[in-house]
Amino acid sequence: MIFRTRFAPSPTGLLHLGHAFSALTAYEMARAAHGTFLLRMDDIDRVRSKPEYEVQAKQDLHWLGVRWPEPVMQQSRSEPRFRAALDELAALGLLYPCSCSRADIDAAAGAPQEGVPTHGPDGRIYPGTCRHRSMESYLEGDAVRLDMAKAIVAAGPLPQFTETGAAFEGRHTLQAEDLLTTVGDVAVARRGMAAAYHLCVVVDDHAQDITHVIRGEDLFDATRIHVLLAHLLRLPVPEYHHHRLIRDAAGKRLAKRDDARAIRLFRDQGATPEDIRAMVGLPSS
């Protein structure tokens, strides 16, 4: 079996213990499968991505013992691929431009109703204000959304995916009702950006021939969007492994702003790579 995986941090901050665990998990799963581990820099957000974070991320990963072939793919260089994917979805009639700000969306969404989810893997579930618009009315600065109801029809029989992580292990089939109510019309391009995260990840994973996506459990819900997009773009659906999350003492998932748990800081304080492994519950190497 071919096994190609990747670790794809966004260079918008220092890598923390959660990244260390994710990168080491992917790297060691690839090694165990005699496969390939790639590094990718998900730097599509040009405002928040900084070259110094990229340099630091590579140093930290190397220090942890992670190795990858060069060159490292830069997501920001994939813009022509993203445009081609957007054109393909637009040709299927599945996209519309959206000028709503976050405040517009909150206002249009109104008061929450009991039992109706308000947020999904793409944030606030979009209330559909701009859904009547066609791509011909696209204006500079608009976002672009996937019309989920149309996408479900275009998809035909909904695709399946395999998950090997402990929490959601098994074969999953996308469900139309679930996509409509808990995901909705996700953004595939954001204001001022060539494409949005969900589309970028699908297109770049395909460009890198990724067969196994290994990442944190917090992204399991987003996987349904990725599987749907891959299916609509007629790309192979990879196998998924969503691993446990590294949490702080209060049980909260670590975020980039948790600099107190940055690998760089532990290194400065004299920690060894083995210490980091122990902190995230990995056996010594």
- Give the number of residues written for the chain: 285
Contact indicator for 195, 203 with CB cutoff of 8 Å: yes
- For residue 248, what is the DSSP state? -
215 sits in which H/E element: strand 212-216
Q: In angstroms, give the least distance from the CB of 75 to ligand GLU.
A: 8
Residue 245 touches ligand GLU, criterion: CB under 6 A: no
Shortest Cβ distance from residue 107 to ligand GLU (Å)?
29
Alpha-carbon span 142 to 196, nearest angstrom:
12
Q: How far is the CB of 253 from ligand GLU (least distance, A)?
A: 11
From 190, 191, 176, 225, select the one nearest 205 (Cα to Cα). Answer: 225
- Residue number with CB closer to ligand GLU (142 or 215): 215
Looking at the Cβ atoms of 226 and 277, the one nearer to ligand GLU is: 226
Pick one of 8, 94, 130, 155: the residue that binds ligand GLU (CB under 6 A): 8
With b meaning 16 or more CB within 10 Å and e meaning fewer, what string describes 68-102? Answer: beeeebbbbebeebbeebbeebbeeebbbbbebee
Q: Given the structure tokens 């003492």, which residue do they identify?
A: 249
Binding ligand GLU (rule: CB under 6 A), the pick from 180, 219, 235, 279 is 219
Name the minimum Å distance from CB 76 to ligand GLU: 12
Distance CA 13, CA 278 (A): 23
Angle, CA of 26, 230 and 155, to the nearest 5°? 145
The minimum distance between CB 8 and ligand GLU, in angstroms, equals 4
Contact range with ligand GLU by CB under 6 A, out of 3-11, 119-127, 168-176, 242-250: 3-11
Binding ligand GLU (rule: CB under 6 A), the pick from 81, 145, 215, 277 is: 215
207 near ligand GLU, rule: CB under 6 A: no
Which one of 9, 13, 121, 184 is in contact with ligand GLU (CB under 6 A)? 9
| Piece in contact with ligand GLU (CB under 6 A), picked from 8-16, 61-69, 96-104, 234-242 | 8-16
Which residue in 151, 158, 154, 198 sits closest to 175, CA to CA?
Answer: 158
Q: What does the alpha-carbon distance between residue 45 and residue 47 come to, in Å, rounded to a whole number?
A: 6
Query: Does 10 engage in binding with ligand GLU (CB under 6 A)?
Result: yes
Q: Phi and psi for 146 in degrees, rounded to 5?
A: -90, 125
By Cβ distance, which residue is nearest to ligand GLU? 42
Site string for ligand GLU, 31-70 (x = CB under 6 A): -----------x----------------------------
Restricted to residues 145-204, the positions that interact with ligand GLU (CB under 6 A) are: 201
Determine the Cα–Cα distance for residues 105 and 127; give it in Å rounded to an integer. 7
Of 218 and 275, the one with the shorter C-beta distance to ligand GLU is 218
Residues making contact with ligand GLU (CB under 6 A): 8-10, 42, 201, 213, 215, 219
